[in-house]
């Protein structure tokens, strides 16, 4: 059987696993080609490695197609979720030393690396990606575990809301791979498109992924977050065309969908009382930390993750936190203007950390691993 592995890593082509017979296709270029019987999977679950077979296929591709060098020549620094389990940390350490024979290894929390990327050792990292949003307090380069707050309101939630809106408006989402040709139509008119001949029988998971991609592209291009009270009426309309050729103007809808990120109580189908909006995620996290370090957290609220690139996100967050924060606290939001820096801040932080002269003594060396085993990661990588 064949599997796609959708990991977000830029890896071209296919990787055959000799033990299971599974073939993994990676990279969005390969991912968007319809193939029969191909399932879409992710090696990660809740930010932790779950499918080790597909993860190893990704690593093999990174080394063979991109780094193009022997693993034994380069130390490796990896980021990890702050809630990663000891068993998974030790298994990863063992894999890197035993299978790839790397000379040195280090694991660092994503929030710590994000703080470093923004020139901070202390701060509250608000990270909103695809599957979840987290507020993670960092103090002097260490994550304060007791203050971590998680919310499922993130990018996938926006995609789901976008698809539901199209369904309510009786707009069919037709992925690009199905379309052979299309004709121009007037605004709001049914699309006039021709289906491709001889499409292979694709799986439900792959077709759903391609439909979600259409919704994501629409949300990225046209959604905006309400930054002022009662701005819906003045919201200018924006034109958008679907891959099928259907096109229309969107006004208030552009604000309604992402509003749930900040006010989940009004989202249909959600138990709003149990979910925290962005502002509450931050204040709840800081409130769970020692009172003496709260000024340092309010003074460095670091905004990161692709979902925070929605137009108006930082302005709305700043307004909400200004209202919720104690008057004695000096509030400062830190958000890079670069979408690359916002999306890949842990990588940037890792590149900074690994290049520091003072960091070189922090690596787990091959010798230390041989002497102390996989348990070395718990001792050297807090």
Write the DSSP assignment of 296-360 as a string of letters: HHHTTEEEESGGGGSBTHHHHHHHHHHHHS-TTS---EE--S-HHHHHSHHHHHHHHHHT-GGGG
Q: Which two tokens stand for residue 37?
A: 């019987």
Domain with CATH 3.90.640.10 in the chain: 155-266
Whole-structure pTM over 0.75, yes or no?
yes
State the pLDDT at residue 28.
Answer: 78
> For the chain, what is the radius of gyration of the CA atoms?
23
Q: What is the pLDDT of residue 18?
A: 58
Tell me, what's the pLDDT at 8? 39
**Low-confidence stretches of the chain (pLDDT beneath 70):** 1-20, 228-234, 270-273
Helix (H) and strand (E) counts in the chain:
14, 19
**Burial profile 272-305: b = 16 or more Cβ within 10 angstroms, e = fewer:** eeebbbbbbbbbebbeebeeebbebbbbbbbbbb
Distance from CA of residue 118 to its chain's centroid? Answer: 18
Widest distance between CA atoms in the chain: 71
pLDDT of residue 184: 96
- Between helix 155-168 and helix 253-262 the angle, nearest 10°, is 140
Contact call for residues 341 and 190 (beta carbons, < 8 A): no
74-153+276-382 domain in CATH 1.10.150.20? no
- For 153, phi then psi, to 5°, come to -80, 105
Asked whether 199 and 259 are in contact (CB, 8 A), the reply is no
Matching residue, tokens 């470093």: 116
> Per this entry, what is the length of the chain?
382
Which residues of the chain does CATH 3.30.420.40 include? Answer: 74-153+276-382
Q: Which residues pair with 235 in a beta bridge?
A: none
- Indicate the CATH number for domain 155-266: 3.90.640.10
In this prediction, residue 223 carries a pLDDT of: 86
Q: Please, which residues bridge with residue 109 across strands? A: 80
| pLDDT value at residue 9 | 35
**What confidence score (pLDDT) does residue 12 get?**
36
């Amino acid at each position: 059987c064949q599997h796609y592995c959708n990991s977000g890593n830029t890896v071209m082509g296919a990787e055959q696993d000799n033990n299971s017979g599974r073939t993994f296709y990676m990279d969005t270029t390969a991912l968007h080609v319809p193939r029969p019987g191909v399932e879409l999977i992710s090696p990660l679950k809740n930010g932790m490695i779950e499918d080790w077979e597909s993860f190893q296929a990704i690593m093999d591709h990174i080394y063979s197609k991109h780094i193009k060098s022997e693993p034994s020549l380069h130390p490796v620094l990896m980021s990890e979720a702050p809630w990663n389990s000891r068993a998974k940390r030790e298994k990863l350490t063992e894999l890197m030393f035993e299978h790839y024979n790397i000379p040195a290894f280090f694991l660092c929390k994503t929030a710590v690396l994000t703080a470093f990327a923004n020139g901070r050792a202390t701060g509250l990292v608000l990270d909103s990606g695809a599957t979840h949003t987290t507020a993670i307090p960092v103090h002097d380069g260490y994550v304060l575990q007791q203050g971590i707050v998680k919310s499922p309101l993130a990018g996938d939630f926006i995609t789901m809301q976008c698809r539901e809106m199209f369904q309510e408006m009786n707009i069919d989402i037709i992925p690009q791979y199905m379309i052979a040709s299309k004709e121009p139509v007037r605004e709001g008119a049914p699309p006039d498109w021709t289906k491709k001949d001889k499409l292979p029988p694709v799986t439900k998971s792959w077709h759903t992924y391609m439909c979600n991609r259409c919704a994501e592209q629409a949300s990225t291009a046209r959604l905006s977050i309400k930054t002022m009270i009662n701005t819906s009426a003045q919201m200018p309309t924006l034109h958008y065309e679907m891959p099928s050729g259907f096109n229309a103007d969107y006004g208030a809808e552009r604000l309604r969908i992402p509003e749930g990120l900040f006010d989940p109580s009004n989202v249909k189908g959600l138990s709003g009382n149990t979910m925290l909006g962005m502002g509450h995620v931050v204040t709840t996290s800081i409130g769970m930390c020692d009172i003496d370090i709260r000024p340092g957290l309010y003074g460095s609220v670091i905004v990161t993750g692709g979902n925070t690139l929605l137009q108006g996100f930082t302005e709305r967050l700043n307004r909400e936190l200004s209202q919720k924060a104690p008057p004695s606290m000096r509030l400062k939001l830190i958000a890079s203007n670069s979408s690359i820096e916002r999306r890949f801040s842990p990588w940037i932080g890792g590149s900074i950390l690994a290049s520091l002269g003072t960091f070189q003594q922090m690596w787990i060396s091959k010798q230390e691993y041989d002497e102390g085993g996989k348990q070395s990661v718990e001792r050297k990588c807090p």
